[in-house]
Chain A
């Protein structure tokens, strides 16, 4: 009976797809790059991008359902959201585990260059948030934690911002033009959806909601500007009149 229940739900298939994608990426990297370090690097980087993309997909569902209450498949999307979050946590764990063990040889983080220490710190905090959410993504935790469940799960936006910052700091190609375009597009989409939800609610937004939205927008802008600075070689907000600023390449 329980098996039929799971078979008729979306979560089982998202779980199976997560395992299949993880295995296929590893296989692809080994076959394409002939094993060795470069294959491991490619696999862990793709895991990182997948974690980010799936996390964004999970985050889009909430405001989308509020904007379009009559969206077809609404219960299915709501059910899928939790497993998408778990899937993002799985890929983030794979990224961190493989990088730390295979590339950094389980080194003492404090012995690394300072940029890596900072980037590791941000990444680890983001991973802890994702794992805390993943381990409380079942009905009993939802019922038992009450308001704290929502408080914990709202930290997902902090995790997303930290993860993007982490990528800009040590993933040198994360600040390439296409990646910046994608990240900027996602930031505008998510913020736009949340602003639409607040505006459409029909009641005056609370001060807390306004402050949260404004702070998130400012943080997102600051982090995006950091990535843009990495890309251009100069800070466009500080030196907007100096398009030919110093370029790092």
Chain B
């Protein structure tokens, strides 16, 4: 029994560690916007966390009103603006063998908030899809120290709840006296 329990706990702990590794993996963001019948979900590769001064791949998963919409024929362009001024313009090209995924490469000159305008035509109708993107300063993408402090506060509060739970549950004797038969 004891060995089995230890084995079980080891398996659980290894799973939790695996989970922790999973959490540390950056995740994908998908921001949707649309105009004039065209919808596009934007993803910034690889991490939706662009850094100034580095080429960044912007991917659009698009859909039009008709079945014939294609990135190759929409004449799609991506305009990048900051403080109302156009910083750069990029052509949106087909991303892969599908006809509705497009991509463009953008380099943000410095940190700050940028306005994206994805433009093109679908069946002769022009569409303009806006997005807002924040580029981080080169060398530092997040305020990791502040984030760690918040996580420590969270862990401390969970520790307090655990202590309270242990104290009240052992003192109450609810599980000892009358086992719960719920499922």
Interface, chain A (partner B; CB < 8 A)? 4-5, 7-10, 12-13, 16-17, 20-21, 24-25, 27-28, 31-34, 36-38, 41-42, 45-46, 49, 53, 56, 60, 64, 68, 70-71, 73-76, 78-79, 81-82, 99, 103-105, 107, 111-116, 139, 142, 150, 153, 170-174, 176, 178-179, 181-182, 185-186, 189, 248
Contact = CB atoms under 8 A, between A and B. Distances in A.
A13 B163 CA distance: 10
Contacts of A176: 25
A142 B183 CA distance: 8
A186 B96 contact: no
Given A7-B168, A107-B34, A173-B28, A64 B8 contact: yes
Contact of A9 (B63, B157, B174): B174
A55 to B, nearest CB: 12
A74 B179 contact: yes
B147 interface: yes
B72 interface: no
B23 to A, nearest CB: 6
Interface stretch (B41-49, B76-84, B119-127): B41-49
A68 B61 contact: no
A8 B171 contact: yes
A49 B181 CA distance: 30
A111 B62 CA distance: 9
B90 interface: no
Nearest to A72: B5
A27 B150 contact: yes
Contacts of A178: 18, 21-22, 24-25
A42 B144 CA distance: 13
Contacts of A79: 175, 180, 182
B32 A13 contact: no
B33 interface: yes
Contacts of B164: 13
B165 A13 contact: yes
B114 to A, nearest CB: 12
A1 to B, nearest CB: 12
Interface in B133-183: 133-134, 142-144, 146-147, 149-151, 153-154, 157-158, 161-162, 164-165, 168-169, 171-175, 179-183
A181 B19 CA distance: 9
Contacts of B39: 107, 111-113
Given A32-B144, A179-B22, 7 more contacts: A10-B165, A31-B149, A33-B49, A113-B101, A172-B46, A173-B27, A248-B96
Interface of B: 1, 4-5, 8, 11-12, 14-15, 18-19, 21-34, 39-41, 43, 46, 48-49, 61-63, 96, 100-101, 113, 132-134, 142-144, 146-147, 149-151, 153-154, 157-158, 161-162, 164-165, 168-169, 171-175, 179-183
Contacts of B46: 172-173
A182 B19 contact: yes
A32 B146 contact: yes
B146 A113 contact: no
A95 to B, nearest CB: 11
Nearest to A8: B172
Contacts of B14: 185
Given A71-B5, A248-B96, A17 B25 contact: no
A181 B169 contact: no
Nearest to A183: B22
B169 A10 contact: yes
A189 B116 CA distance: 46
Given A17-B158, A20-B161, A107-B39, A8 B174 contact: yes
Given A37-B29, A75-B179, A182 B1 contact: no
